[in-house]
Chains A and B, each alone.
Chain A
Amino acid sequence: SQQGEEDPQALSIQEGENATMNCSYKTSINNLQWYRQNSGRGLVHLILIRSNEREKHSGRLRVTLDTSKKSSSLLITASRAADTASYFCATHGFGNEKLTFGTGTRLTIIP
């Protein structure tokens, strides 16, 4: 079964606007990661946030983590056409190396 569920499943916005995607998970985690997948390609790691962190930034990306609600959000500011992709959250539990992925959000940036 999937650990993470992204919301929304699909999102279309105008270039320049901000995009927000949410991820909910079920069990306690060591860390949560976000990945991007361009069509026909493998996933690329974007950012990792640990369970004792509440917010993290990387360039135009901002990730928040609320462990009490078992949820995370990914904000992409000032979106560009090149941001069009699917975005996945993935959770890493304790005591193992396995990473469990959610079902993804398909983001489309309209030029």
Chain B
Amino acid sequence: NAGVTQTPKFQVLKTGQSMTLQCAQDMNHEYMSWYRQDPGMGLRLIHYSVGAGITDQGEVPNGYNVSRSTTEDFPLRLLSAAPSQTSVYFCASSSPGTSGSPLHFGNGTRLTVT
């Protein structure tokens, strides 16, 4: 049982480049989300989805796009990378229905923008 899988694990981009962070889960979870983690700031929610075809913004959505075409996948796109997007990115999923279901996290993507 793989759980939540994130790829790549590490990535270096130059300012202005674009890329997609991949996230896939095999637990048939309806809810998926993206967080970024920066030193001293905990985790901040970027975007989330409560099911295929439905996405919404979190606390820090600027500079990021998401889509949810399937239950399993929730990619995060950086359209034009900036140094301020240097961070560790975590994808997480849960099965709502039971209020406040625990999140299952991937192991993260460490992104550096130069």
Contacts and interface: CB of A to CB of B under 8 A. Distances in A.
A97 B50 contact: yes
Interface string A24-59: 000000110101000011111100101000000000
Given A48-B102, A97-B94, A2 B45 contact: no
A42 B107 contact: yes
Interface stretch (B35-43, B69-77, B79-87): B35-43
A28 to B, nearest CB: 13
B4 A42 contact: yes
Best-surrounded residue of B42, B44, B50, B92 (most CB of chain A within 10 A): B42
A30 B100 contact: yes
A43 B41 CA distance: 15
Interface in B83-114: 90, 92, 94, 96, 99-100, 102-108
Contacts of A4: 42
Interface residues of B, number: 27
A4 B42 CA distance: 9
A4 B44 CA distance: 11
Contacts of B31: 97
A35 B45 CA distance: 16
Contacts of B59: 1, 100
Interface of A: 1-2, 4, 30-31, 33, 35, 40-45, 48, 50, 88, 90, 92, 97-104
